[in-house]
Amino acid sequence: MSGVNTVALARRLADVRRQSMALAEGLSAEDCQLQSMDDASPVKWHLAHTTWFFETFVLDGQAGYRAFDERYRVLFNSYYVGVGERFARPQRGLLSRPSLDDVMAYRRHVDEALAQALRRGPTPRQAELLTLGLHHEQQHQELILTDLLHHFSVNPLAPAYRPAAAVASSPPRPMRFVDHAGGAVEIGAEATGFAFDNERPRHTVWLAPYALADRLVTEGEYLAFVEDGGYREPRWWLSDGWDAVQRLGWRAPLYWREEAAGVWRRFGLLGLQPLRTDAPVCHVSYYEADAYARWAGARLPTEAEWEHAAIVALAEGRAATGTLLEDGRFAPQPARPVADGGLAQLPGDCWQWTASAYLPYPGFRTDEGAVGEYNGKFMVNQMVLRGGSCATPRSHWRASYRNFFPAGARWQFSGVRLAR
Amino acid sequence: MSGVNTVALARRLADVRRQSMALAEGLSAEDCQLQSMDDASPVKWHLAHTTWFFETFVLDGQAGYRAFDERYRVLFNSYYVGVGERFARPQRGLLSRPSLDDVMAYRRHVDEALAQALRRGPTPRQAELLTLGLHHEQQHQELILTDLLHHFSVNPLAPAYRPAAAVASSPPRPMRFVDHAGGAVEIGAEATGFAFDNERPRHTVWLAPYALADRLVTEGEYLAFVEDGGYREPRWWLSDGWDAVQRLGWRAPLYWREEAAGVWRRFGLLGLQPLRTDAPVCHVSYYEADAYARWAGARLPTEAEWEHAAIVALAEGRAATGTLLEDGRFAPQPARPVADGGLAQLPGDCWQWTASAYLPYPGFRTDEGAVGEYNGKFMVNQMVLRGGSCATPRSHWRASYRNFFPAGARWQFSGVRLAR
Amino acid sequence: MSGVNTVALARRLADVRRQSMALAEGLSAEDCQLQSMDDASPVKWHLAHTTWFFETFVLDGQAGYRAFDERYRVLFNSYYVGVGERFARPQRGLLSRPSLDDVMAYRRHVDEALAQALRRGPTPRQAELLTLGLHHEQQHQELILTDLLHHFSVNPLAPAYRPAAAVASSPPRPMRFVDHAGGAVEIGAEATGFAFDNERPRHTVWLAPYALADRLVTEGEYLAFVEDGGYREPRWWLSDGWDAVQRLGWRAPLYWREEAAGVWRRFGLLGLQPLRTDAPVCHVSYYEADAYARWAGARLPTEAEWEHAAIVALAEGRAATGTLLEDGRFAPQPARPVADGGLAQLPGDCWQWTASAYLPYPGFRTDEGAVGEYNGKFMVNQMVLRGGSCATPRSHWRASYRNFFPAGARWQFSGVRLAR
Amino acid sequence: MSGVNTVALARRLADVRRQSMALAEGLSAEDCQLQSMDDASPVKWHLAHTTWFFETFVLDGQAGYRAFDERYRVLFNSYYVGVGERFARPQRGLLSRPSLDDVMAYRRHVDEALAQALRRGPTPRQAELLTLGLHHEQQHQELILTDLLHHFSVNPLAPAYRPAAAVASSPPRPMRFVDHAGGAVEIGAEATGFAFDNERPRHTVWLAPYALADRLVTEGEYLAFVEDGGYREPRWWLSDGWDAVQRLGWRAPLYWREEAAGVWRRFGLLGLQPLRTDAPVCHVSYYEADAYARWAGARLPTEAEWEHAAIVALAEGRAATGTLLEDGRFAPQPARPVADGGLAQLPGDCWQWTASAYLPYPGFRTDEGAVGEYNGKFMVNQMVLRGGSCATPRSHWRASYRNFFPAGARWQFSGVRLAR
């Protein structure tokens, strides 16, 4: 088949698959089995499920392919109803068998079959699904880190994934707002090139004039909200948010710990660390992001505002990238300098909650078959995040990328960019 | 004070207050105390709370006003945190004291004080709050019926609010779709005249070309979905919707009862009645509306599409009204005939789920003070409904009106209008 | 039929039925519909269910008897699986229909049919079931008060069932312990005379030497436990009890309210009242009774110890009765004087938690038919209480009477008698 | 110090500690971390907690003892409130650190310190606590197997702890009842020799004449109950039991799986196996044992009946032992032949539910200090089991031994012996 660059695809496949293994380095089989809550899966499960995805959508039915273990079809299906039964999500941490070693052998088995398929020359549909599988695995690479941080957070020993010394912090540079005139603009992915179905079709939206902050809100700024009694004052909060604050006893972002009165530390992949006045606040819910914005006399941007500003900044060379997975720093970092009128942390450091609910674009169509369950069926009760984080693979990001989580979710690398 | 037509306001006040009493006619004190679920309040509570609203926001602090009973401030506050404590919502059905008679006396006490205030001439702010109080009470008139239906539905005796004989049904007229060209259009309430804060400001949105069904989906059409196995087939459903179907055992709209295999009856304010092929299906959740639309090869309209089509139809005289509260029929009725290219049931019969999440319009501002808690703090995790129902007072409705409920809510008079 | 004294039975029937009506005096239909928790039923339901019991077990199947309303069979069945379906217990408060008036008519209908049956001369089995029905209704008379107190307790207006002025309290007389030698003794009801099946058969138990307190623990004594930090110190508590303390936030007996630091009032059928140093503490769970006993260096008696001591005291005329329902005081009262070595509050004022689990006596046999579900099927996970309370009808009590509730139950009139 | 045989104690210590290690053989670190429900702990936790017990009660405070890791004090405390904080029980499966290797090193560290202490000559109190620690560890040896079976049972791969071939089954020998005359008898542990505090003091009880089955109920006999609709018929069940059946969907003993209509297999430590007509039924709750007994026209014995019969049979040489842990068969086995009038499976194969609630014996006293939390504080809401199982160490068993679990517990090796 002509249109596919098989060599490039094979190299990219090898790179992405290798990266997953690299993330698991230094983790024991016990670490990889942890499941601290229903929403977060064990590392072992992520390593197996991404492999299952390739096996199910690319290899199954192909001449000569023999499944590694028929029983894995149910064990490592996540939510694809069209593919059949699934093992209950909250019990993923209860699978001591297959062992981590078994899962590694499974990965090798599927890697070899994929390599062979690529050597034989894939059909265009296979190449398409392989590419989807790569992006799917990159999504799970972010989840491997996100989930592991939560798993470790319940251990009183506070294990560090990648131990690091604390860094002295300095005041952040002032936050500035970049103006946009609005009007009829286009957002969404172009018809060609890889994108998830939920990023399409490209379409027109009408924007009122707006301004977007040129960097994320910092831990120091957020601490001022905490110290001002932000978590005790209902007027800053949406009703559901205030309910969460009271029901769940929220007093600060998810991984902040008050070790003495007014003395906070933050648990992260680098271990327990002091707060940094200049690093972006992370692991806040939509409710907290929204409450902070109201307290600060601002608001959260819509996803269309965010994407339009990003397109403009990228086109004009006024966008600075923040920390992404390849930087190997595994924690949000202070914003890098950016030209006047530019936007820092675009993408990078933290996902940024938007004021937009996750809904289909006008004319949205899901993919055919079980793969079509990828995005569309989640389009209710979630808010969109934009931007990417320190756990997002660089090659996985696009300006049109739509991430989405329920308004109360805090275990993602999620932060705050203000708008007016 | 000059701008307020005090006489008209006084008459409207008397009308609205009298209408609430009319709704309670025929109900015993026991009926008025029922609370069948946390979300639905007793009729007695609605009668008291609407009165509390006038007392708190209009009368309190006014020279010479003496509260009827100081303890009612807490008992009949709904969710206004700024006003102070509230009595727990799920326990509203546990207040045998004050009695229904006491609440009636409370209503008279406040009515007299309001009349006096009107005679003395209200300030513009008071007139504004009185008007808000009237619309607030009209909202609760709808809830009185909506909630009462739920309270009665758990009683095996299936009591009828307004008993009525069954009516023979006939096939509905064919559903037609009315086309719209889209582009930049304006929606939202004008700056003058009464509207809730969430309907403002009027603003521009961009619409892709679309078509809207000229009537609501009927019970007969929905029954075909049920009989086609719609509730057993995950592919029609959003993930959260499928979860609700399985967790809650949904097999049909909320008040449908299968009395023998394939033989359904519907419980309503008129009692237990056979289904009607030509009456609109009612008491479905957003999940069901969305699943039905997908099964029918269509989709739900956005609220902007709905409002724009309504504005056009009203302007061109091609809109037909459905059953509203004043019609005194208390149940959705078959669509009345409408001119070609016109829209029936606009408003009326059933609220119509839209594909839009309930979010602030660009430039949204809440009212000052505790009254500002009216709408804004609920702008997350809900979907917008448009249109009004057989329980909605006619004078309460506007084309810009935004109703909103969580996607799983079924006890409202909520139905389905399709779009493409 | 010869053995039954029909006239006496008819008079007793009229008395007991009249007493239920007397208890409902002064209550509105709204009061009688309240249900504040799953375990506590509405007064209206008690009035109907006791009537249902006579209808089902005495009248049904009798020539010429016509049911008042066939639908009541399901509505007012409590837990008799053998009789058929039941209406869900937690929803008893949701039956506005039948109204209280309807239930009163139902009572009259059944009363007349019972009177007629008695005039015709009942069979021995009918007389037996009538007698059982009387005792059943007397049990529900106690529950009418017990449950109503709970229903009223959630109302911030703190309504009094029988308002009364506060009474000055004085120190209680010293608590003395009455010694018993133990050995092989007999407990349980004799084979003749009315008793519930769970009181039989009479049988031998072996008792070690023991001593029983001659009066109940007072509010003043219990307050000392509270003030000594009793609810903050795990060592006094059973593990399940300590769990309840923490999970439910217990800090004092159920109806005590700390109105200012260290200033307590008790809610009761007489309204909100100050504590009394000399009145018995009431509305404590088994956990609290047990923890108090441990703190006081004593223990709770077993039911065999209690019954044996009661038999001896009664036989020797050294037992004093406490307040029972006929006294019309509706609240536990200070112990009346009693002869040296005698036992006060035997029965009366409060039920007394024993250290015995509720289990069948050796050779226990249930009654035949659905009536056999009366007691036996509850013989697990409950503790026995002995003694009777201010809400217990005097003619309902026997020394062999076994009351039983789960260890965490607090809404009964339950207090503490110590043993050593 | 003179009274303690230090050499024997050292040898016994080594044996017991070695046995725990033997149980973990063949298990991976992943297996040892599994926690499938709150009540069941990971193998790794059991290995650590038994070690913590020796460290806390024997070594701490001893001159020269250095804790292996101070943080283990909290991590591996089970429920000893007197010792300080504990790590939340449901989260024991979330401790990937310390690793299994770390826990093994912890065991060696404590073993060496204990050996040294024994060489130095322990005080009588130390020897007493060492002996208590040994019995404590033996209890946890049983739990290691009991809990592991549950952990493995949720894995669809149905892993076998010790794989074994299926064995052909044959009809069991007829069940006979051994008569006892009753009267005043003594039960409970003698004042000397090791026993848990809950087995003391020895005391008199009065027994009515009774008869005890000479073997346990078999899987074949229990299957007849299942096939007779036992789980669909409320009249056999206690009310709480019937509630459990319906709420939890019970249709057979815990680990039975119906693989086709009427074809059952049982999951166990030997893997998935066909039922055996002659092997005792296991993993039933008290509710099921009680319902079976009622269906079979019998009842469960009280613990006094059981113990008295055991004492007599042992004294007269008419008791046969069943399978115990040392037999290394890890599953209940058919009863071995026993002399006429003798009792098989006494102890062994399965724990046997009694009709007795777990309560203190007359004159019961807890141990001093935190060790006193061992038994007494659990004396409510539990039923006593007698006998020992295939997972019980032989040297751990005594005729006076009282095991106890809530009536709904099924994951223990619990079966049924009938009485009349």
Q: Split chain A (420 residues) into runs of 10 and give each run's mean pLDDT.
A: 77 97 98 97 98 96 93 90 84 96 98 95 92 96 98 97 92 95 97 94 98 98 98 96 97 97 96 96 98 98 98 95 96 93 95 98 87 87 98 94 98 98
Distance, in Å, from the CA atom of B35 to the CA atom of C35, rounded to the nearest integer, reads 11
Per this entry, what is the length of chain D?
Answer: 420
Q: Is the ipTM of this complex over 0.85?
A: yes
pTM (predicted TM-score): 0.96
Packing angle between helix A124-153 and helix A43-54, nearest 10 degrees? 170
Q: What is the distance between the terminal CA atoms of chain B, rounded to a whole angstrom? A: 51
Mean pLDDT of D78-106: 91
Q: Which residue of C has its CA nearest to B161?
A: C97
Chains C and D form CB pairs within 8 A to the count of: 76
B99 touches chain C (CB under 8 A): yes
Q: What is the pLDDT of residue B2?
A: 46
Half-sphere exposure of A373 (CA within 13 A, CB side): 20
Q: What is the pLDDT of residue A2?
A: 46
Distance, in Å, from the CA atom of B149 to the CA atom of B153, rounded to the nearest integer, reads 6
Is D357–C362 a contact, with Cβ atoms under 8 angstroms apart?
A: no
Residues of D in contact with C407 (CB under 8 A): 380-381
pLDDT tens for chain B, 420 residues: list them: 345 689 999 999 999 999 999 999 999 999 999 999 999 999 999 999 999 999 999 999 898 999 999 999 989 998 888 888 888 898 999 999 999 999 999 999 999 999 999 999 999 999 999 999 999 999 999 999 999 999 999 999 999 999 999 888 899 999 999 999 999 999 999 999 999 999 999 999 999 999 999 999 999 999 999 999 999 999 999 999 999 999 999 999 999 999 999 999 999 999 999 999 999 999 999 999 999 999 999 999 999 999 999 999 999 999 999 999 999 999 999 999 998 889 999 999 999 999 999 999 999 998 777 777 778 999 999 999 999 999 999 999 999 999 999 999 999 999 999 999
Confidence of residue D281 (pLDDT cuts 50, 70, 90): very high
Three-state SS at B271: strand
The partner residue sitting opposite C377, judged by closest CB among D238, D363, D379, is: D238
| Alpha carbon distances (Å) from C118 to A420, C131, D271 | 85, 12, 66
Residues of A in contact with B380 (CB under 8 A): 238, 240-241, 286-287, 290, 383, 407
At A67-107, the pLDDT tens digits run 999 999 989 998 888 888 888 898 999 999 999 999 999 99
Is B203–A208 a contact, with Cβ atoms under 8 angstroms apart?
A: yes
In angstroms, the separation between the Cα of residue A420 and the nearest Cα of chain B is: 9
Tokens 């104690």 -> residue: D9
Q: What is the pLDDT of residue D221?
A: 98
C229 touches chain D (CB under 8 A): no
Is A151–D31 a contact, with Cβ atoms under 8 angstroms apart?
A: no
Tokens of D316: 């007269």
Q: What is the pLDDT of residue C1?
A: 39
Distance, in Å, from the CA atom of D370 to the CA atom of B314, rounded to the nearest integer, reads 80
C155 touches chain B (CB under 8 A): yes
- 3-class DSSP string for chain A: CCCCCHHHHHHHHHHHHHHHHHHHCCCCHHHHHCCCECCECCHHHHHHHHHHHHHHHHHCCCCCCCCCCCCHHHHCCCCCHHHCCCCCHHHHHHCCCCCHHHHHHHHHHHHHHHHHHHHHCCCHHHHHHHHHHHHHHHHHHHHHHHHHHHHHHCCCCCCCCCCCCCCCCCCCCCCCEEEECCEEEEECCCCCCCCCHHHCCCEEEEECCEEEECCCCEHHHHHHHHHCCHHHCHHHCCHHHHHHHHHHCCCCCCCEEEEECCEEEEEECCEEEECCCCCECCCCCHHHHHHHHHHCCCECCCHHHHHHHHHHHHHCCCECCCCCHHHCCCCCCCCCCCCCCCECCCCCCCEEEEEEECCCCCCCCCCCCHHHHCCHHHCCCCEEEECCCCCCCHHHCCCCCCEEECCCCCCCCEECCCEC
Q: What is the pLDDT of residue B3?
A: 57
In angstroms, the separation between the Cα of residue B118 and the nearest Cα of chain A is: 32
Q: Residue C306: which residues within 8 A CB-CB, separation 6 or more?
A: C212, C352, C354, C386, C387, C417
Q: Which residue of A has its CA nearest to B204?
A: A206
Residues of C in contact with D79 (CB under 8 A): 239
Rounded to the nearest 10°, the torsion over CA B343, B348, B352, B356 is 80
Is C208–D362 a contact, with Cβ atoms under 8 angstroms apart?
A: yes
Q: What is the pLDDT of residue D114?
A: 97
The partner residue sitting opposite A238, judged by closest CB among B237, B380, B383, is: B380
Distance, in Å, from the CA atom of C47 to the CA atom of C44, rounded to the nearest integer, reads 5
Contact predicate B258/B150, CB 8 Å: no
Residues of D in contact with A47 (CB under 8 A): none
Is D94–A151 a contact, with Cβ atoms under 8 angstroms apart?
A: yes
In angstroms, the separation between the Cα of residue D183 and the nearest Cα of chain C is: 9
C360 touches chain D (CB under 8 A): yes
Is C97–B33 a contact, with Cβ atoms under 8 angstroms apart?
A: no
Distance, in Å, from the CA atom of C280 to the CA atom of C257, rounded to the nearest integer, reads 17
Confidence of residue D3 (pLDDT cuts 50, 70, 90): low
pLDDT tens for chain C, 420 residues: list them: 345 689 999 999 999 999 999 999 999 999 999 999 999 999 999 999 999 999 999 999 898 999 999 999 989 998 888 888 888 898 999 999 999 999 999 999 999 999 999 999 899 999 999 999 999 999 999 999 999 999 999 999 999 999 999 888 899 999 999 999 999 999 999 999 999 999 999 999 999 999 999 999 999 999 999 999 999 999 999 999 999 999 999 999 999 999 999 999 999 999 999 999 999 999 999 999 999 999 999 999 999 999 999 999 999 999 999 999 999 999 999 999 998 889 999 999 999 999 999 999 999 998 777 777 778 999 999 999 999 999 999 999 999 999 999 999 999 999 999 999
Distance, in Å, from the CA atom of B280 to the CA atom of B265, rounded to the nearest integer, reads 14
Residues of B in contact with C98 (CB under 8 A): 157
Tokens of A54: 């390739």
